């Protein structure tokens, strides 16, 4: 009988957590764990958490309350908390929830094997340091098993921008970029295992400046190096700051064949007063100029963004400036949030705006953003796109994949398989996807 144990990971928050969860699963693989989709049969349940908004952090405490019941029924179950809540509230978690065995911050995942040994001996383990060594360096190489056609690859972590509302600089620490050779090795390895599209990840990915063979390389240079990887067909990156959209990166959008015409470029607000109070270091106009340059380089690019409404001191006029900026840009996709006060950030000191007003603004903004999304989806009808098939659809012979613009597309393609890229003519739109027919 195998003495391998079962690990269930629940991932909250951003794509960087998705990537980290994969790497933690690989690391714990060396300590005798295989992943399972079934929490009830797990020997260890690991929550990879998000601290970006209050609701996200609160969820973790209620989930831990539920897990305590599991553990009462099965005292051998180990409960672990990773991610940004672990980093920000590690000691508080240990104090408040005795069922938790292990708490690990995002910079210490390479220490999981030692920590796992400790909890096996019945002790509790807490590590929320920002160690000098690079965690990815000390994590096991990715195993050679085949995988799906798309993958995330973290190239940069942390942030030095200190927007007044944001916990990232405190939970993920200062900006660090991984060296180019490690990224290329990991990318080639992913391609060997079936990956055709890689999304480069970083909290501030376009500030990337990793060590290359002849000094530091910037994100555009890294993208060009990846463009030469045989078998890799598509490159994306997220998330970017408007101030780090350099001329060379913008030019790459026009010239680099494998770089997809999609850009997530958060602006947060369209009011210069609020942008200043947010410490964003850009104005609405400078953001619009960046957008203009990107569209000049790649006219068909699909733009996405992040918005916060109800930031302290936001008036109706400030909110209207955000609506106006959205009307000018026309986003194909977007994320919008009501401001959430985060302890320890500068904005947390300031009084909240009326919450009913903030809810109303969020609804109005989301209404506008959705109408733009649907208009842009409608405009795709009749156009030809390339679709990378990711999985089988629900209907007989149907495949589902993403276009270069990151739209989900359903196509009848009985002879296609995952990883194929096909030319498709868009015929119809659904709420959050498109339908099309194969072109031969």
- For ligand SF4, the binding residues (CB under 6 A) are 159, 161-163, 166, 168-169, 203-204, 241
Beta-carbon neighbour count of residue 122 at 10 Å? 7
- Smaller CB separation from ligand SAM, 61 or 337: 337
Binding to ligand SAM, residues 32-91 (CB under 6 A) = 52-53
Give the residue, chosen from 112, 168, 321, 353, that forms a contact with ligand SAM under the rule CB under 6 A.
168
CA distance linking residue 190 with residue 120, whole number of Å: 32
Cβ atoms of residues 14 and 130 within 8 Å: no
Rounded Cα gap, residues 172 and 84, in angstroms:
7
Among 221, 239, 269, 333, binds ligand SAM (CB under 6 A): 239
Residue with smaller CB distance to ligand SAM, 343 or 367:
343
Name which of 270 and 419 has its Cβ closer to ligand SAM: 270
Sheet holding 234-238, edge to edge: 150-154, 197-201, 234-238
Tell me which DSSP letter residue 259 carries.
B
Shortest distance in whole angstroms from residue 89 CB to ligand SAM: 15
Burial label for 320, CB within 10 Å (0-12, 13-18, 19+), is: middle
Site track for ligand SAM across 261-290, x = CB under 6 A? -----x-x----------------------
Q: How far is the CB of 125 from ligand SF4 (least distance, A)?
A: 28
Q: What angle is formed at CA 229 by the lines to CA 238 and CA 410, rounded to 5 degrees?
A: 60
User: Among 204, 271, 304, 377, which residue interacts with ligand SAM (rule: CB under 6 A)?
Assistant: 204
* Residue 12 or 389 having the CB closest to ligand SAM: 12
Residue 179 interacts with which of ligand SF4, ligand SAM, none, CB < 5 to 8 Å by class = none
User: Phi/psi of residue 180, each to 5°?
Assistant: -60, -45
The strand order across the sheet containing 102-104 reads: 33-35, 5-11, 44-49, 78-82, 102-104, 125-127
Which residues are near ligand SAM by CB under 6 A? 14, 52-53, 165-166, 168, 203-204, 239, 241, 266, 268, 306, 308, 337, 339-340, 342
């Amino acid at each position: 009988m195998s003495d391998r144990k079962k690990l269930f990971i629940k991932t909250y928050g951003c794509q960087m957590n998705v990537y980290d969860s994969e790497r933690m699963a690989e690391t714990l693989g060396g300590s005798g764990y295989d992943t399972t989709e079934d929490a009830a049969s797990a020997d260890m349940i690991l929550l990879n958490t998000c601290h970006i908004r209050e609701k996200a952090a609160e969820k973790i405490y209620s989930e831990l309350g539920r897990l305590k019941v599991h553990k009462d029924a099965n005292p051998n179950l180990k409960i672990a908390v990773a991610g940004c809540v672990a980093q920000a509230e590690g000691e508080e978690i240990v104090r408040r929830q005795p069922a938790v065995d292990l708490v690990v911050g995002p910079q210490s995942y390479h220490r999981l094997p030692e920590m796992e040994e400790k909890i096996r001996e019945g002790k509790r383990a807490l590590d929320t340091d920002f160690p000098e060594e690079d965690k990815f360096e000390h994590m096991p190489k990715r195993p050679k098993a085949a995988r799906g056609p798309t993958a995330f690859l973290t190239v940069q972590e942390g942030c030095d921008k200190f927007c007044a509302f944001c916990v990232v600089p405190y939970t993920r620490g200062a900006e660090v970029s991984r060296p180019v050779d490690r990224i290329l090795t990991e990318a080639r390895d992913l391609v060997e295992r079936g990956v055709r599209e890689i999304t480069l990840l970083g909290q501030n990915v376009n500030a990337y400046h990793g060590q290359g063979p002849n000094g530091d390389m910037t994100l555009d240079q890294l993208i060009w190096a990846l463009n030469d990887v045989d078998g890799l067909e598509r490159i994306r990156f997220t998330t970017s700051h408007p101030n780090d959209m350099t001329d060379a990166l913008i030019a790459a959008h026009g010239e680099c064949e494998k770089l997809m015409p999609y850009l997530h470029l958060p602006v947060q607000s369209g009011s210069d007063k609020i942008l200043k109070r947010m410490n964003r270091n850009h104005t609405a106009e400078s953001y619009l100029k960046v957008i203009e340059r990107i569209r000049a380089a790649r006219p068909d690019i699909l733009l996405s963004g992040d918005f916060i409404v109800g930031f302290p001191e936001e008036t109706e006029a400030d909110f209207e400036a955000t609506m106006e900026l959205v009307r000018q840009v026309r986003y194909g996709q977007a994320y919008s949030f009501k401001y959430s006060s985060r302890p320890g950030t500068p904005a947390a000191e300031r009084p909240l705006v009326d919450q009913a007003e903030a809810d109303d603004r969020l609804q109005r903004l989301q209404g506008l953003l959705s109408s733009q999304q649907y208009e842009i989806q409608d405009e795709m009808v009749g156009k030809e796109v390339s679709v990378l098939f990711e999985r089988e659809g629900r209907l007989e012979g149907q495949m589902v994949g993403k276009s270069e613009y990151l739209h989900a597309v359903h196509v009848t393609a009985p002879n296609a398989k995952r990883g194929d890229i096909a030319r498709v003519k868009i015929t119809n739109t659904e709420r959050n996807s498109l339908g099309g027919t194969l072109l031969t």
